[in-house]
Amino acid sequence: MPDNFESFIQQHRDEFEEQGPSPRVWGALEKELTNQRKGRVVLLLQKNWFKAAVILVLFVNAGALFYFTKHKQQQRQELAVIAPEMQEAKAYYTSRINEKLEQINAYPVSELGLDSTARKELELRNDTYKALEKELKNNPGNERIRAALIRYYQLKLDLLDKILEELQEKRVTPGHTKKQYEAEI
């Protein structure tokens, strides 16, 4: 049972309360909480250093890839800028050469009479082409190289035309062997 003193305290309990703390307390607390958050990020990195390292490596790789791609695109753009007429010629001849190559490739290998080295030489981007293209990039204003590249395209087209003519003379149609053709007629 409460005595006189305890009863007095209970009856006047609220009067014993003082004002709250000064704003200084929250100011200091807020600063501390901000530091705590920063500290937590560092702690998290320390705990997961391996994951952080992997993420860093992936990030660096992605960056390098991005730079490489960008650089490549820039190179292509540069070629188109420094020799626009050659770019047009390249587009035209490439399209025609590829068209002929498709026709030739439709014939059975046995009917072509060409070994793999020869067939590879027929491809547009052979060693000669690559060397000429490289020279052009290094010397875009050199007329001799331009002329040589155009000549290369023309010779390649001529060669492919001749091969196609020969195949037609043998009366072999794409997808048929000579024996099949003879059997049909």
Partner 1 sequence: MKASASNLNQTQIAENVIDRCKKGDVRAFRELYDAYSAAMYNICLRMTNNVSDAEDTLQEAFIQVHRHIHKLERDGSISAWIKRIVVNHCLNTLRKKKVYFEDVDEVEVMTEEGVDEAQHTWTVAAVKSAIRDLPQGYRTVLNLYLFEEYSHREIAEMLGITESTVKTQYMRAKEKVRQIVKQQNVTR
Using CB under 8 A, list all residues that contact partner 1.
Answer: 3-6, 8-9, 12-22, 24-26, 28-30, 32-34, 36-37
At 60, list the tokens. 């660096």
Could you please report the per-residue DSSP string of 100-140? HHHHHHTS-HHHHT--HHHHHHHSSS-HHHHHHHHHHHH-T
Nearer to partner 1, 8 or 67 (CB): 8
Q: Which residue has the tokens 């590829």?
A: 98
For 66-79, b where at least 16 C-beta lie within 10 A, e where not — what string?
Answer: eeeeeeeeeeeeeb
Provide CB contacts within 8 A for 83, sequence distance 6+. 136, 140, 146
- Which residue, 33 or 54, has its beta carbon nearer to partner 1? 33
Measured from the CB of residue 6, what is the shortest distance to partner 1 in angstroms?
7
Min CB(45)–partner 1 separation in Å = 17
Please identify, using beta-carbon distances, which residue of 18 and 143 lies nearer to partner 1: 18
DSSP state, residue 48: T
Q: Smallest distance, Å, CB 52 to partner 1?
A: 20
Closer of 29 and 65 to partner 1 (Cβ):
29
CB of 32 to partner 1, least distance (A): 6
